[in-house]
Amino acid sequence: MEWKNNMGMIDVTEKPVVRRLAEASGKIFLSPGTLKEIREGRVRKGDPFPVAEVAAMNAAKQTHLLIPHCHQIPLDAVSATFEMRADHVKATCAVKARARTGVEMEAITGVTAALNTIWDMVKYLEKNEQGQYPDTRISDIRVVRKEKEGEKER
């Protein structure tokens, strides 16, 4: 039996360029001690949130290099926000563009990079005696909002 490779980017040549927005969010669960160190500004590598914001912007702009079928989209805006909660930090990444295809993957990539950056900056606080991370976890990464000019919000 012959196998045919049908992989390739979707041709969006004929699609109109319209305003698009996507917002993704996710959580990183951290120990109470780590959350306290963040709140009190005592993380050795500095405040994780501005660094994670830059990571989100860089990652969103590089999505086409990381995910093979994504189109290279010139982004108009990328923002990242962070909320401290009782047992986790919630990160949100919003991406805007005028493009032929959506920016959901850029938002997801941005929020993932932000959460990974936070983990990297606090990992020394999260390790147990064996050097493991028994309670640290990233979860609930999802698209929470998507808009396309001319369509109702989903």
Question: Domain ranges in the chain?
Answer: 18-148
Question: Could you say which residues of the chain have pLDDT below 70?
Answer: 1-7, 151-154
Q: What are the CA-CA distances from residue 106 to residues 36, 42, 129, 136 (Å)?
A: 31, 31, 37, 24
Q: What are the CA-CA distances from residue 88 to residues 83, 95, 105, 118 (Å)?
A: 9, 23, 23, 11
* Residue 66 parent element (H or E): helix 63-66
Query: Quick one: CATH architecture of 18-148?
Result: 2-Layer Sandwich (3.30)
Which is the catalytic residue, given 87, 120, 135, 140? 120
For this structure, is 47 an active site residue? no
Whole-number pLDDT of residue 154? 46
What's the predicted TM-score (pTM) here?
0.91
Whole-number pLDDT of residue 91? 98
